Amino acid sequence: MRITVADCLRRASELESISDSARLDVELLLGHVLEKNRTWLFTWPEKLVAEDAHSTFLTLLKRRVQGEPIAHILGEREFWSLPLYVDSSTLIPRPDTEALVETAIALTTSPDNILDLGTGTGAIALALASEFPNANVVAVDKSPQAVALAQRNLQRLQFNHVTILESDWFAALKKQRFDVIVSNPPYIDEHDPHLAQGDVRFEPVSALIAGEAGLADIRFIIESAQKHLSLGGVLLLEHGWRQAQAVQRLFEQNGYTKIETRKDIGGNDRVTLGWKPQ
C-alpha cells in the first residue's frame, strides 16, 4: 500500500475530539518520525512514507488519541525559543509561563543573582540565563528526577552561569541572597475539575496541587523569600487566574512594596510581584 505525506496528515481528523490543534499535532508527529520540518511536509505532500516510518507514526498517533501530551510523545518542548527535553517527571513548559520571564526582564536590567524555585525542566531559569549572561542563576527543585532533567537541559544549552540544585524550596540555599527570585509553584486546588482534563492528567500531581485552595506553597515562598532577597530585590510568582487578589494580600501581609499583577498572553492575571524594601 502506497502511503503519502498527505495521507498521514489527513489523519488529523482522529484527533479533533481531544485536541484544539489536531492538524498541528499530526504535523509535529509526522515531522518527528520523518525528521523533516513542517515546511517540508507542506512542500512535498505526495512524497511516499516508508512502511516502517508509517508504522511508527501510527504508534505515536495512537498515543496522542489516548490523550498523551505531544511534548511527552516527542520528548521535548520549546520555551522562550529554547529547545527543552521534557518527561513525565515535571510540568510541561507552557506559553503562559513566559509572562513570568517577560516580567522579570522588564523589571530588572542587570541582576547579579537570580533564583528559580521549583525549576522542573529548568525552563524559567534557562530562559533568564539566556537573557542575562552575566548573572549567576541558581535553580532548585526537590525532585531528583526534575533536577536530572533540568541538568540535561543545561548541558544541552551549555550555559556556564547556571547552577541546578536539589532543594526543598530554600532549604539548601543557607544564607544566599538574590536580586530576583522567580517561581511557578503548585497552585491548583485539589478539587479543581481541570485536573481530570487535558495534559495535566499526565503530569506529576506534586507539581500541580497545593493546600489552602492552592495557596499553601505560594504563602510559604512569600513568607520565606524575604531572608533570601537582597535589599531592593523582587519576588515574582506565577499563580492561577483567579488568585491575584489573594496573592497580593499575602505580599502585603509580609511587608513587600510596589505590589502588582501582570497578565499572560490570554489576558488573564498570571504573575504577581513584590519588592523587598531597601
pLDDT digits (tens, 9 = 90+) for 213-229: 678 899 999 999 999 99
C-alpha cell at 34: 520523518
Domains, the chain: 5-67 (1.10.8.10), 88-275 (3.40.50.150)
Q: What is the pLDDT of residues 91-102, one digit of tens each?
A: 889 889 999 999
When comparing pLDDT for 248 and 242, which is higher?
Answer: 248
Which pLDDT score, from 0 to 100, does residue 207 have? 64
> Strand 178-183 vs strand 257-263: parallel, antiparallel, or unpaired?
unpaired
Mean pLDDT calculated for residue range 79-98: 92
**Between 216-225 and 244-253, two packed helices, what is the crossing angle to 10 degrees?**
30
DSSP state of 243: -
Q: What residues have CB less than 8 Å from 229, skipping those under 6 apart?
A: 177, 178, 179, 181, 235, 276
Q: Are 177 and 229 spatial neighbours (Cβ–Cβ below 8 Å)?
A: yes
Mean pLDDT of the chain: 91
Which pLDDT score, from 0 to 100, does residue 157 have? 97
Which pLDDT score, from 0 to 100, does residue 192 have? 60
Query: How far is the first Cα of the chain from the last one, in angstroms, to the nearest whole number?
Result: 72
Q: What is the pLDDT of residues 266-275, one digit of tens each?
A: 899 999 999 9
Which pLDDT score, from 0 to 100, does residue 62 have? 95
Q: Indicate whether 256 pLDDT > 90.
A: yes
Q: In 106-177, where do the E strands start and end?
A: 113-117, 136-141, 162-166
Which pLDDT score, from 0 to 100, does residue 203 have? 57
Can you give the pTM of this predicted structure?
0.88
When comparing pLDDT for 192 and 185, which is higher?
Answer: 185
Which pLDDT score, from 0 to 100, does residue 226 have? 92
Q: Indicate whether 252 pLDDT > 90.
A: yes
Q: Indicate whether 193 pLDDT > 90.
A: no
Q: Indicate whether 198 pLDDT > 70.
A: no
Region of poorest pLDDT, from 22-26, 108-112, 211-215, 253-257: 211-215
When comparing pLDDT for 150 and 198, which is higher?
Answer: 150
Q: What is the pLDDT of residues 27-47, one digit of tens each?
A: 999 999 999 999 999 999 999
Which pLDDT score, from 0 to 100, does residue 238 have? 96
